[in-house]
Structure formats: structure tokens, C-alpha cells
């Protein structure tokens, strides 16, 4: 084991093409000792190096099944935490750039969720009547909170199954941090919008009265994805006027109006599979992250499919795009030298409780 890591400063000035060659060389030297997981939203010059690709649920399962000594996660911080929680104690999870985070995940933190739980408990017996559900896009300590309070984790793929599981046990749900996924899923289950109220963590009692809390079935945390927030109903309506036979597909992190106007709503994996299964020559408007839209637009161009990004302005997930060839090359070359950089390690007590919530999710879905 070498005493010092190779400094990242040596990689900063490298051209992307030079990095690509070094990534391939380091990858070859590591062989089966390392596996690279790549989320669908990764930039193309990083995504191309992934051994396994998918959305957050698929990658969670792949992380649990991986045998490699090193799991190099090209995604964001919360995903690498999930990989660490689900992987074996002998495995090491690495995030090439520690600045790869998620603005939505940052909208709910443990202090605010614990305060919300205390406030709810002044109105009703929260531990008997409310199931906390955290979207996988959240920190490990929030997953641990759910594990401790009879709660569970969900993804955009399995949110409906998870809500059905929750309502079979308790009458209410506190859903965080993404209000849009919670609202859309509740709507699909015929829960009236009037019974899905927004909990504002910056207001006392979430900005709600005791009567509203008692009446609500789903309390939606006031959080959102900054990328999916960009898509608006007017974008869909304008495109439909120009493409009357075209199809619209959106991620459930989009706002309610956009989802209602879409022909299909689903996870990143669902979007890819639905577009892939469509007839040649189909036109699509897609409401999700730009890297994914560009990738499938190229992939299905030979079939005559025209795939368009929903927003008129370019909007990528800036935190997801932080992992670049320079960081990946630096990470892999350090592993070749026997040095782990940017290890993600969830504290043991947190990991134990978070695993309970994650295992509940995996059992349900």
C-alpha cells in the first residue's frame, strides 16, 4: 500500500482523450477487482466506461450483487451511500468526485425531518399512524430514520408498490424529499389532491393546522428536483400543437400538470424501454435529464425516431455531471497503486438502520 495518493492536480490539465486512454489502461490493470456502475444521467464520456448501467433501483440491486473488491460509482453521493450499505463488508465504494451531490436530497435533512416528526406527534401518534417514506434520492441518515420508525425507501420505479405497502400498515404517509413523485403516485392510487398536503419544513407544523394534518393521507415534503422543475405544461402543449401524432413521456419528478399532459410517466429505465419498444419513425418529447435524452436520441436515430428534450433551455443535472474523465482516471489510477481516494463509508449504526428500510423496499419490489 503506497503512503500517499496520486494528487488530483496532475489530472486537471489533461485533455479528455488522454484521460480516456488512461481510464482504459487502469481499468485493464484492475480487472475483476473493480466494477464501474454508471447512472443513466452520467455524461457520455464517463457513461461509456461503465460495466453496469441503470437507474437508482437497478444500480442498488447491482451493487448488492457485485463481487468486485472496489465499486466505483459514477452517480451521486446518495447512490454511493446505498451501494456501501448494501455491499459486503469486504468491499469498498468510491465516488470519483465528492462534489457529485443532489440538490433535491439536500432539501430534506435529519434535523428537519426529526422536527417534523415531533410536531406531528403533538397532533397524533406518529409512530402508530404515519409511515415515513424517503425517496432513494436522500442521505443515508434519512433512510436510517425510516428504518427506525417503521418506514421504507422508494424509487421512481416502485413508488406505487411502496405506498400500497405503507397504507396496508398505517393510515398516513410522510413522503420526502420530492413532493412531485409523492403527489403523482398518490393520484394514480385515486387519493384526492385535497388529501395530499405540502409540509413546509421551514414553517411551524409544516404550515398546516392540526385539522389539516388529521385529514391528510399523504404529507408531501416541500422538495423538488431542480432539473425536472424546469419542464412546464406550456412546453408540452406547444410541442403537441406542432406534433399532433407525437408522444410525450415524463419522469414523475416533473410537476403534476406535466405528468397529467404526458402519454407515459415513469422512471429513467421505463423511459428508455418505452421509447425502445415504440414503432420506427415515432416522435417523442421527453421530460427528463438532458444527457439521457441526448443518448437515446442518438441510439434510436437509425430507427427514424425523433427524440426531443422538453425544455427550450438546456438544463443538465450539474451535480450529476461533476464526474468527468479526469476524476475517473484519477480514481482508477489510485486504485491501481493500492490507494483508495474518495471512499464512501456510512457509519455503522446508520447503515444498520438504513439497511432495514432498504431491505423492506427490496422485499416489496
In this prediction, residue 236 carries a pLDDT of: 97
Instruction: Output the CATH code of domain 105-225.
Output: 3.40.50
The tens digit of pLDDT for each residue in 263-301 reads 999 998 899 999 999 999 999 999 998 888 999 999 999
How far out from the chain centre does Cα 204 lie? 29
Q: In terms of residues, how long is the chain?
A: 365
d(CA 317, CA 337) in angstroms, rounded, equals 32
Q: Is 127 helix (H, G, I), strand (E, B) or coil?
A: helix
Percent of the chain surpassing pLDDT 70: 97
Give the CA distances from residue 203 to residues 216, 221, 270, in Å, rounded to whole numbers and listed in that order. Answer: 17, 12, 36
Segment 191-209 shows an average pLDDT of 97
Rounded distance, CA 296 to CA 316, Å? 15
Q: At 273, phi and psi to the nearest 5? A: -65, -35
Is the pLDDT score of 103 beyond 50? yes
**Residues 6+ away with beta carbon under 8 Å from 52:** 35, 36, 37, 38, 59, 62, 66
Residue 102's pLDDT is 76
Tell which wins on pLDDT, 114 or 103. 114
**Residue 73 near residue 93, CB atoms below 8 Å:** yes
How far apart CA 176 and CA 354 sit, in angstroms, is 15
pLDDT for res 321? 65
User: Which whole-number Å values give the CA distances from 33 to 16, 65, 96, 152, 334, in the listed order?
Assistant: 25, 14, 17, 32, 13
Mean pLDDT of the chain: 93
Averaged pLDDT, 225-252: 94
Sign of CA dihedral 274, 138, 334, 22: positive
- Long-range contacts formed by 161-170: CB under 8 A, 24+ apart: 161/364, 161/365, 162/133, 162/361, 162/364, 162/365, 163/133, 163/189, 163/218, 164/189, 165/360, 165/364, 166/131, 166/133, 167/131, 167/217, 169/131, 170/128, 170/129, 170/130, 170/131
Preceding amide of 207 cis, omega within 30: no
In this structure, of 28-42, 92-106, 172-186, 205-219, the range with the lowest mean pLDDT score is 92-106
228-309 — its CATH code? 3.40.50.10800
Domains 105-225 and 228-309 in one fold: yes
CATH (residue range 8-100+320-346): 3.40.50.10800
Residue-wise pLDDT for 37-78, tens only, equals 998 888 889 999 999 998 877 887 887 888 899 999 998 888
User: What backbone phi and psi angles, to 5 degrees, belong to 89?
Assistant: -60, -25
Q: Where are the domains of the chain?
A: 8-100+320-346, 105-225, 228-309
Asked whether the predicted pLDDT for residue 3 surpasses 60, the reply is no
Q: How much is the pLDDT for 282?
A: 97
Question: Is 1's pLDDT higher than 50?
Answer: no
At 319, the pLDDT band (50, 70, 90 cuts) reads low
Query: Cβ–Cβ contacts within 10 Å for residue 302, how many?
Result: 8
Residue 171: how many other CB atoms lie within 10 Å: 12
Q: What is the pLDDT of residues 117-151, one digit of tens each?
A: 999 999 999 999 999 999 998 999 999 999 999 99
345: left (phi over 0), alpha (psi -120 to 50) or beta: beta
SS3 call for 116: helix
Residue 217 sits at the vertex; the CA angle it makes with 211 and 222, to the nearest 5 degrees, is: 85
| Per-residue model confidence as pLDDT tens digits over 89-100 | 999 999 999 988
The β-bridge partners of 343 are 94
Amino acid at each position: 500500500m503506497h503512503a500517499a495518493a496520486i494528487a488530483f492536480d496532475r489530472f486537471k490539465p489533461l485533455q479528455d482523450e488522454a484521460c480516456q486512454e488512461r481510464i482504459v489502461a487502469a481499468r485493464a490493470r484492475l480487472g475483476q477487482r473493480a466494477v464501474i456502475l454508471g447512472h443513466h444521467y452520467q455524461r457520455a464520456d464517463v457513461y461509456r466506461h461503465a460495466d453496469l448501467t441503470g437507474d437508482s433501483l437497478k444500480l442498488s440491486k447491482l451493487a448488492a450483487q457485485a463481487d468486485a473488491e472496489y465499486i466505483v460509482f459514477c452517480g451521486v453521493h446518495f447512490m454511493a451511500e446505498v451501494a456501501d450499505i448494501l455491499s459486503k463488508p469486504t468491499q469498498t465504494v468510491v465516488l470519483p468526485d465528492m462534489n457529485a451531490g443532489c440538490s433535491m436530497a439536500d432539501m430534506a435533512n435529519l434535523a428537519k425531518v426529526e422536527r417534523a416528526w415531533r410536531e406531528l406527534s403533538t397532533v397524533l401518534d406518529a409512530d402508530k399512524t404515519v409511515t415515513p417514506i424517503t425517496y432513494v434520492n436522500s442521505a443515508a441518515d434519512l433512510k436510517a430514520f425510516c428504518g427506525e420508525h417503521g418506514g421504507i425507501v422508494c424509487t421512481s420505479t416502485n413508488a406505487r408498490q411502496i405506498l400500497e405497502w405503507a397504507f396496508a400498515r398505517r393510515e398516513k404517509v410522510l413522503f420526502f424529499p420530492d413532493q412531485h413523485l409523492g403527489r403523482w403516485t398518490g393520484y394514480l392510487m385515486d387519493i384526492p389532491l385535497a388529501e395530499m398536503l405540502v409540509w413546509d419544513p421551514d414553517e411551524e407544523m409544516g404550515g398546516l393546522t392540526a385539522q389539516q394534518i388529521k385529514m391528510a393521507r399523504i404529507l408531501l415534503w416541500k422538495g423538488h428536483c431542480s432539473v425536472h422543475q424546469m419542464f412546464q405544461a406550456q412546453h408540452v402543449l406547444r410541442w403537441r400543437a406542432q406534433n399532433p401524432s407525437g408522444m410525450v413521456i415524463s419522469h414523475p419528478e416533473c410537476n403534476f400538470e406535466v405528468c397529467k399532459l404526458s402519454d407515459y410517466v415513469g422512471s429513467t429505465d421505463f423511459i428508455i424501454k418505452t421509447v425502445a419498444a415504440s414503432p420506427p419513425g415515432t416522435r417523442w418529447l421527453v421530460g427528463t435529464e438532458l444527457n439521457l435524452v441526448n443518448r437515446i436520441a442518438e441510439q434510436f436515430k437509425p430507427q427514424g425516431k425523433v427524440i426531443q428534450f422538453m425544455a427550450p433551455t438546456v438544463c443538465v443535472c450539474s451535480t450529476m455531471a461533476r464526474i468527468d474523465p479526469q476524476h475517473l482516471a484519477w480514481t482508477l489510477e489510485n486504485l491501481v497503486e493500492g490507494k483508495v481516494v474518495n471512499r464512501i463509508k456510512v457509519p455503522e449504526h446508520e447503515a444498520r438502520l438504513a439497511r432495514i428500510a432498504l431491505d423492506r423496499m427490496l422485499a416489496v419490489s
